[in-house]
Amino acid sequence: MIVWMFGIVVLLGASSAALAHHGTAAYVTSSMVTVKGTMTDFRYINPHVQLYFDVKNDKGEVEKWQAELTAPNKLARAGWDKHTLQPGDTITATGYVAKDGAHTMWIRALIGPHGEPLRLSDE
């Protein structure tokens, strides 16, 4: 299930430093995409926490997605640990996707398995 959001996306107060150590050139940052998927792997690692999940597209096919959050030290201060997400969890991720069409996302907002928004920073 994929919901594409085009057009004007205005982030109020968003920091461009979120993906701080490497650039944003690989991502389309003029618009955001939201996908709902089922976690297959969760890697709580430096420098950026990685999510792998399956997304069923509108043809009923399963797409393999990879997405990254910010750094684990930042997420820890927002209450995360290596068990926060697990395979089988349903998540809804909103963010920027790769310019090259890869199923790769830089996550800017995340809904967790119980329908709750997950804090991505203690800032």
Partner 1 sequence: MRRGMSIFTFGMIAALSLSTALYAQTAPPPPAQANAASKPGPAPVHDLTGVWMMHNPPGSNRGFTNYTFTKDPPELTPWGQAKYAEAKPSNGGQFTLQTTNDPVLTRCDPPGVPRVYFHPYPFEFVQTPKYILMLYEYDHIVRRIYTDGRPLPKDPDPLWMGTSVGHWEGDTTFVVDTVGFNDKTWLDRLGHPHTPDLHVTERFRRVDKDHLELDFILDDPKALAKPWTATFYYELRPNWELGEISCSGDYLDFKNFEGK
Residue 1 C-beta-side C-alpha neighbours within 13 Å: 7
Residue 53 as a binder of partner 1 (CB under 8 A): the answer is: no
Tokens found for residue 23: 């650039």
Are the CB atoms for 74 and 121 separated by under 8 Å? yes
As a whole number of angstroms, the distance between CA 110 and CA 119 comes to: 8
Which residue, 7 or 88, has its beta carbon nearer to partner 1?
A: 7
As a whole number of angstroms, the distance between CA 33 and CA 118 comes to: 17
Residue 28 as a binder of partner 1 (CB under 8 A): the answer is: no
Q: By CB under 8 A, name the one of 37, 42, 48, 96 that touches partner 1.
A: 48
**Bridge partner residues of 90 (DSSP):** 38
Residue 32 identity (one-letter amino acid) = M
Residue 4 as a binder of partner 1 (CB under 8 A): the answer is: yes
Which residue, 39 or 103, has its beta carbon nearer to partner 1?
A: 103
Residue 83 as a binder of partner 1 (CB under 8 A): the answer is: no
Interface residues with partner 1 (CB under 8 A) are 1-18, 20-26, 32, 34, 36, 45-48, 50, 57-58, 66, 68, 70-74, 76-77, 92, 94, 98, 100, 102-104, 108-111, 117-123
